[in-house]
């Protein structure tokens, strides 16, 4: 008779479920300012610890400390706060628009605003982002027209993509925003490929690729790391770890790895973890990685540790799979409130100024929405007829398509 026991699989479970009271007191949060700042030409093996800790700049008192601090002026920080508040106001307005039936769905980045807004400040004209649907801050912190974004969300007559992409999957070559792929994780191989092409041409432009922690379970994530490390592509690879995929917690995709950043070490890629709710820390780490890419030193993998405070999308109800108080209990706090408190402590901001800024941005978003709603529906637009909607795609229409068009009576 065999002494072997029946085999079974281990399925990771989140620590808290609906109805539980979240307690993050056992989550290790490194002291702000404790992580060293290495030179950009460092070898990946020499900074292994940065893939397991969390780089933080602002301490609990709202003071910048450590070697990654003091990189931004007060005016630059105020601009960053305004950018994040604009994103938050935009998200709130568009979520309401979806509830009113003005668009099919919307995906906000509540609690994650610091990541894209801070990262955008280290990019240059011609650099290319390969984003997910939570990097709207890359556009809203630049001069990309907010009305154009809403036109696309509404798929109206002024939609810059003319209804050929989903509502929130923006695209603007001029603003370094490659059209978002609905196939998860493809951003990594697209970004690495674009960066390789830039290097082959002898150009000076770098690429950034973005992925959620859940999508790191996809093959494209690992394929991107292979090519980036082998050819030292000038790319920054970002993992936004907001703790939850659509409805599964981050432990499912992480598996047995200690951190998501640690996966880059096996490929010889310098890998860092940063407090994604600390605007100053995100900026410092992003600049370090971008400088490394521009110097021809190859890729960097960054894990942004944050929390998705809202639902995955307007089609999602997070109360079905996570504890109600989990978002407010998250130990790294709210990125907007943290940067506000930082500026107030420095004596260059006040609650009254903050309230005034909030009202101004909400009015700005409302006005953009009003303009977009004047543009009507897609059916009223210049491409409403099947005979003309692809004219700008086929400038010189192939013979077989011309015949099909004639046979259809157009």
**Buried residues in 361-394 as b, exposed as e (16+ CB within 10 A):** bbeebeebbeebeebeebeebebeeeeebeeeee
Q: In what order do the strands lie in the sheet with 235-241?
A: 128-130, 207-212, 235-241, 300-305, 271-275
Among 152, 154, 200, CA closest to 177: 152
pLDDT at 63: 95
Query: CA torsion angle for 64, 67, 69, 72 (degrees, to 10)?
Result: 160
Q: Quick check: 380 pLDDT over 50?
A: no
Q: Are residues 333 and 281 in contact, defined by beta-carbon separation less than 8 angstroms?
A: no
Q: Is the pLDDT of residue 351 over 60?
A: yes
362 vs 392 pLDDT, higher one = 362
Query: Pick from 135, 203, 223: which is nearest to 172 by CA?
Result: 135
> Is 141 buried (19+), middle (13-18) or exposed (0-12) by CB count in 10 A?
buried
Burial of residue 78, with CB atoms counted within 10 A of its CB: 0-12 exposed, 13-18 middle, 19 or more buried: middle
At 290, the pLDDT band (50, 70, 90 cuts) reads very high
Angle at 270 between CA 264 and CA 275, to 5 degrees: 85
Q: What is the DSSP letter of 285?
A: H
Rounded to an integer, the average pLDDT of 364-390 is 72
Q: For residues 169 and 391, which has the higher predicted lDDT (pLDDT)?
A: 169
Element (H, E) at 274: strand 271-275
Q: Region 83-108: what's the mean pLDDT?
A: 97
Mean of pLDDT values over 233-251:
95
Q: What is the DSSP pairing of strand 128-130 with strand 207-212?
A: parallel
pLDDT at 382 over 60: no
Residue 392's pLDDT band, with cuts at 50, 70 and 90, is low
> Is the Cα dihedral 311, 316, 319, 321 positive or negative?
negative
Averaged pLDDT of the chain: 93
Q: What are phi and psi of 179, to 5 degrees?
A: -55, 135
Backbone φ and ψ of 11, nearest 5° = -115, 115
| Sequence-separated (6 or more) residues with CB below 8 Å from residue 351 | 344
Distance CA 334, CA 308 (A): 11
- pLDDT value of position 26: 84
Distance CA 253, CA 272 (A): 18
This prediction's pTM: 0.92
Which pLDDT tens digit goes with each residue over 15-60? 999 999 999 988 889 999 999 999 999 999 999 999 999 999 999 9
Q: In whole angstroms, what is the distance from residue 211 CA to residue 213 CA?
A: 7
According to DSSP, residue 365 is labeled H
Q: In the structure, what pLDDT confidence band is assigned to residue 405 with cuts at 50, 70 and 90?
A: low
Q: C-alpha 250: how far from its chain's center?
A: 16
pLDDT tier for residue 214 given thresholds of 50, 70 and 90: very high
pLDDT(379) > 50 = no
Q: Mean pLDDT over residues 378-391, rounded?
A: 52
What pLDDT does 163 receive? 87
Model confidence at 395, pLDDT cuts 50, 70, 90, reads: low
245/16 Cα distance (integer angstroms): 15
What is the C-alpha to C-alpha distance for residues 398 and 297, in angstroms, rounded to an integer? 45
Please choose, from the candidates 235, 241, 236, the residue with its C-alpha nearest in 3D space to the C-alpha of residue 274: 241
Inter-residue contact 90 to 146 (CB < 8 Å): yes
Compute the average pLDDT of residues 227-252.
Answer: 96
Report the C-alpha gap between 296 and 206 in whole angstroms.
10
């Amino acid at each position: 008779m065999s002494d072997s026991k029946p085999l079974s699989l281990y399925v990771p479970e989140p620590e808290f479920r609906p109805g539980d009271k979240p307690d993050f007191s056992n989550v290790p949060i490194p002291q702000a300012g404790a992580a060293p700042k290495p030179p950009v030409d460092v070898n990946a093996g020499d900074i292994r610890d940065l893939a397991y800790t969390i780089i933080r700049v602002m301490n609990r008192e709202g003071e910048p400390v450590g070697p990654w601090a003091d990189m931004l002026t007060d005016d630059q920080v105020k601009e960053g706060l305004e950018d994040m508040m604009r994103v938050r106001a935009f998200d709130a307005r568009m979520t309401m628009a979806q509830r009113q039936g003005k668009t099919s769905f919307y995906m906000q980045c509540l609690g994650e605003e610091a990541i894209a807004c801070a990262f955008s400040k280290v990019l240059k004209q011609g650099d290319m982002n390969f984003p997910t649907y939570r990097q709207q801050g890359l556009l809203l912190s630049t001069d990309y027209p907010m009305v154009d974004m809403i036109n696309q969300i509404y798929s109206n007559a002024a939609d810059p993509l003319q209804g050929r992409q989903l509502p929130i999957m923006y695209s603007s070559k001029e603003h370094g925003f490659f059209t978002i792929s609905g196939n998860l994780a493809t951003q990594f191989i697209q970004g690495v490929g674009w960066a390789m092409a830039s290097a082959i041409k002898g150009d000076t432009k770098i690429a950034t690729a973005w992925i959620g922690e859940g999508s790191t379970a996809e093959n494209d994530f690992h394929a991107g790391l292979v090519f980036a490390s082998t050819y030292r592509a000038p790319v920054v690879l970002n993992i936004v770890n907001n703790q939850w995929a659509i409805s599964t917690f981050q432990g499912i995709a992480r598996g047995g790895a200690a951190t998501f950043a640690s996966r880059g070490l096996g490929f010889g890629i310098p890998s860092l973890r940063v407090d994604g709710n600390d605007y100053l820390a995100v900026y410092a780490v992003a600049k370090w990685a971008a400088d490394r890419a521009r110097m021809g030193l190859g890729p960097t993998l960054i894990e942004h540790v944050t929390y998705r405070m809202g639902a995955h999308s307007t089609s999602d109800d997070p109360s079905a799979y996570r504890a109600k108080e989990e978002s407010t209990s998250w130990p790294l706090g709210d990125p907007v409130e943290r940067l506000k408190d930082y500026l107030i402590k420095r004596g260059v901001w006040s609650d009254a100024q903050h309230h005034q800024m909030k009202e101004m941005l909400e009015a700005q978003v409302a006005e953009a929405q009003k303009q977009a709603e004047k543009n009507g529906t897609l059916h009223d637009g210049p491409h409403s007829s099947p005979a003309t909607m692809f004219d700008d795609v086929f400038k010189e229409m192939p013979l077989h398509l011309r015949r099909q068009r004639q046979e259809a009576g157009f």
